[in-house]
Amino acid sequence: MRMAELPLEIGAPIPKADQALKDISGKEITLNKAKQSNGLLVMFSGNDCPYIERNKARTVEICRYAQANQIGVVLINSNANANLESMKAYAGAQQYTWYYVADPAAAFAEAFQATHTPECYLFNQSGTLMYKGAIDDSPGNADAVKNRHLNNAINDLLAKKTPKVSSTQVLGCNIKRF
């Protein structure tokens, strides 16, 4: 693993915003190009993590909510075994309508200091980090959710407010680097 960069703090700009990533469609995108009028949601994800499996419905729900509110969505698979064909099959089964990109060298995970899947980063329309952390407070059990952290942060962002909670602890699978 490479030397870690400084932690990504609230208020930071989008890391590697103009560096190209390959989407499951084969198209190259950048995070800046994926950003929409109200911001950008970046989520580190994967195909084979038990936490991802337990969060499938919540991932789809929050990504659709973000898109419906003109927030661009990019899911990044930074696992060393990330390959576009298996990602494409997985995304198709989940009916993803947003970007799902491969980062097998984990360059974006390093830049974001992402260590787990799922791990979320919400940027406002100016590309400033407003929230980082978990989707909610119960990644292992949807029935036990009490706080929908990411949903609340999106609502605050849409209301032009600073999120009441800007950072939460992430529990999930480790990103598998080389």
Mean pLDDT of 144-173: 96
pLDDT 10s digits, 24-56: 999 999 999 999 999 999 999 999 889 999 889
Q: Report the top-level CATH class of 21-174.
A: alpha beta
Q: In this model, does residue 138 exceed pLDDT 70?
A: yes
With both helix axes pointing from N to C terminus, report the angle between 149-158 and 56-68 in degrees, rounded to the nearest 10: 0
For residues 30 and 17, the answer to whether their CB atoms sit within 8 Å is yes
Domain range annotation of the chain:
21-174
The reply to whether the predicted model has a pTM over 0.85 is: yes
Q: Do residues 128 and 32 make contact, with C-beta atoms less than 8 angstroms apart? A: no
Taking residues 165-169, report their average pLDDT: 95
Q: How, if at all, do strands 99-102 and 116-117 pair?
A: unpaired
